[in-house]
Structure 1
């Protein structure tokens, strides 16, 4: 067995591979090439590692080994191997060969890399003019193949150990692309600390069905699944998602594959206009857990079609035309199981207090006793926006009509451009939520009557008083200190004058 490699070494080598594209195309474009090449390299290394293991076990028996390889998680046609592409890297046509390899992998693996006819690599082409004219494109892709052929990116299981090492590398890249992705970052990534917090709050259990209707690259969805593995040692759960952006849907599918999440169904399409997660009768599927970090205040979310929605998702009211926050909330509410359903959604603060149709929707959700908690988060947590956000928790199994307000807006590790929730910050929120009691200047358990008195306004400062009285200044003490300083200054001036006189200065 060769020496194992650390997660940090893999991450650094992956990030260095991006240098091939920097200065040629934007990160928003080349992230798809890097992430897809990581996927191709990983499955090629797994395939080769397992093939070599069978060779040691059975000797030089190609037909027998070929039969044994049919039981693998995936099929890798010989022409589609990374190493076949690498061997021909100096020949013209690198882009076309890589695209053909990806197509062959899709065809060989059936539904694992397809959903309803859409293929994972449908929106990703290495044979694109975005990489320049043919000669330049061929050179860039040769460099990319050479980057991934370096020893640091030997991703054989016998070397890297667990599958999570690769999944973590994939997440590392996505996080770094999000950090540099500006406004588009929020389209595909929820910071891992926020995903951690939401997953802890929702307490996923073995047997749960878990859905994210705006799943991005799938990080929040998978975090909920991994909580079940960590807490119960069980993989008895099912993951469901839907994503509107084709290239981001592809990231989610590859991400699921690399994390070994085979029990999943991630659909491509607009959740509000065309929900795809339906039961055999054509109704919305229901889930134990529904969670999402949907796009903040989405314009053109589907207002014109909402009045005639065949699923009656907007019977409590139609959200404003230019703000789709409550469109996602109402969709998620409708997909909760009646007894076990629980939900966590990230929203901008305007959702807590804006009036008009949003105020009417908010009132009805509160009166139905679905809202369980409102948790205020610090600013600058999310990529692409500096505004603070909140987590709304809803439950179908509430036993009282109270709502817990938690002000965690100051609970973070401050960074230059990005703030970070620490493990201690997460633990404090979680313990406060689980205890369900008021904590001075941090949390308040409000009754339905109090929320009615506040006209269903959920703005956190109305309930959690974080005001700190300024310390009273003792003016006489300040004056005494000032006089003492004046006296010390006069003594120093006298000493200085003496020194100057001794030195002959007038």
Structure 2
């Protein structure tokens, strides 16, 4: 058995493999190649590890071993193995061979890597002109195969231990791509601290159905599932998601597989224009938990079709054409189970106070007593934008007509480019939310009447007073100190004049 290694060494080797692409294509493009190669290398290593184990146990009996390997969670055709690709790396056609390997893996694994006819690797091609002309492309992909063949990236279970190591490496890469790739690369990723906070706030239970209608790489969904495993020692839950961008949908599917999340359904498509998570009667599926970090103030979200929405999602009003925040909120509200549904959504602060159609929608949601809490977050938490955001919590099982406002905007650990929520900050928000009481300069429990008096404006400073009185200035003390400084200045001026005179610079 090989020596075991730690998470950091795997992460470092993977990030080093990105050097193959840097200077050739941008991070938001090469992330697909790196993450797909990690997936391919991992399943190849697991397959080879199990094959070697059977061989050690039963001897050189290929037919028997092949029969035993049919019980594997995943089928790996020989042409789809990373090692086959690596052996042929010096030959022309690396891009085409890798694409053919991915296709063979899809065909051998039925529905595991497909949803409604769309395959996971459909939008990912290694045989692309983005990598340059054929000779350059072949060289780049040879280097990539060699990077993943290094001993540090031997991902066999007998070496790395648990599946979580690979899932964690995948999340590490996604996080770093989001951090380095600007707004476009950050669209598909919610920082883990924010995902942790939302998952804790929503308190997922065994048996829950959980949905993210803008799921990105599915990290928020999996955090919710992980809370059930941690807190209830149960895998009795189902994860649902929809993602509009094809390559990001692929990342979500691979991410689910690498984390061992088999009980999931991730659809590809535009949630607002074409929701895919439907019940047997063609209506919207309903969930115990709905949560999302949708794109902020999305332009061209589907305004023209919204008025005639066959699901009735916009009966409270149609959001403005250039800001889709309430389109996602209204969709999510409509997919909550009556009596038990709870929802957490990340929004820009404009959602709290903008008027016109958004103001009318906000009024309706508040009057229906669906809003449970408004939590203001610090700035610079999210990749690709420095603006502060808020978490809105809605519940279909409210027992009062209060709304809790929490101002956590100053609760963060400053980083070089990004701010962070620490475990202490998260714990403070959680304990305050669960207590549901006023906390001086931090939280305020507002009545429905107070919100109505504020014209349904949810801007947090209207409810949480964070003003700090300045210390009273003692003018006599300031006057005395000023006189002392004046004496010191006169002495210095006198000394300076003497020094200048001695140097021959006197008047």
Secondary structure at the counterpart of residue 240 of structure 2: strand
> Could you tell me how far apart the structure 2 residues matched to 1:493 and 1:300 are?
68
Q: Which residue of structure 2 lines up, in the alignment, with residue 415 of structure 1? A: 415
Secondary structure at the counterpart of residue 262 of structure 2: coil
- Aligned CA RMSD, in angstroms, stands at 1.7
1:497 is displaced (CA, Å) by 8.8
Q: Which residue of structure 2 lines up, in the alignment, with residue 51 of structure 1? A: 51
1:473 is displaced (CA, Å) by 1.3
1:135 is displaced (CA, Å) by 0.8
Q: Which residue of structure 2 lines up, in the alignment, with residue 142 of structure 1? A: 142
> Could you tell me how far apart the structure 2 residues matched to 1:482 and 1:53 are?
83
Deviations 1:223-278 (CA, angstroms, capped at 9, x unpaired)? 11111111122111110000000000000000001111000000000001110001
Structure 2: gaps of 5 or more residues: none
Deviations 1:193-238 (CA, angstroms, capped at 9, x unpaired)? 1111100100111111100000000011111111111112211111
The 5 A counterparts of 1:106-505 are 106-488=106-488
Deviations 1:297-332 (CA, angstroms, capped at 9, x unpaired)? 111111111111111111111111111111100000
Secondary structure at the counterpart of residue 446 of structure 1: strand
CA contact (8 A) 1:186 1:295 kept: no
Secondary structure at the counterpart of residue 241 of structure 1: strand
1:60 is displaced (CA, Å) by 1.8
1:415 is displaced (CA, Å) by 2.0
Secondary structure at the counterpart of residue 210 of structure 1: strand
1:495 is displaced (CA, Å) by 7.9
Deviations 1:371-420 (CA, angstroms, capped at 9, x unpaired)? 00000111111111111110000001000000000001111111232111
Normalised TM-score (structure 1): 0.97
CA contact (8 A) 1:200 1:227 kept: yes
CA contact (8 A) 2:451 2:458 kept: yes
Deviations 1:34-69 (CA, angstroms, capped at 9, x unpaired)? 110000000000101111111122222211211111
1:482 is displaced (CA, Å) by 2.6
> Could you tell me how far apart the structure 2 residues matched to 1:52 and 1:356 are?
66
Secondary structure at the counterpart of residue 105 of structure 1: helix
Q: Which residue of structure 2 lines up, in the alignment, with residue 62 of structure 1? A: 62
Secondary structure at the counterpart of residue 74 of structure 2: coil
* Gap change, CA 1:399 and 1:477, over 3 Å in 2: same
1:486 is displaced (CA, Å) by 3.8
CA contact (8 A) 2:26 2:181 kept: no
Alignment length, in residue pairs? 506
CA contact (8 A) 2:377 2:407 kept: yes
Deviations 1:159-205 (CA, angstroms, capped at 9, x unpaired)? 11111111111111111111122221342111111111100100111
The 5 A counterparts of 1:77-92 are 77-92=77-92
> Could you tell me how far apart the structure 2 residues matched to 1:500 and 1:453 are?
71
1:483 is displaced (CA, Å) by 2.4
User: Following TM superposition, where does structure 1 have runs of at least 4 consecutive aligned residues deviating by more than 3 angstroms?
Assistant: 485-506
* Gap change, CA 1:494 and 1:288, over 3 Å in 2: same
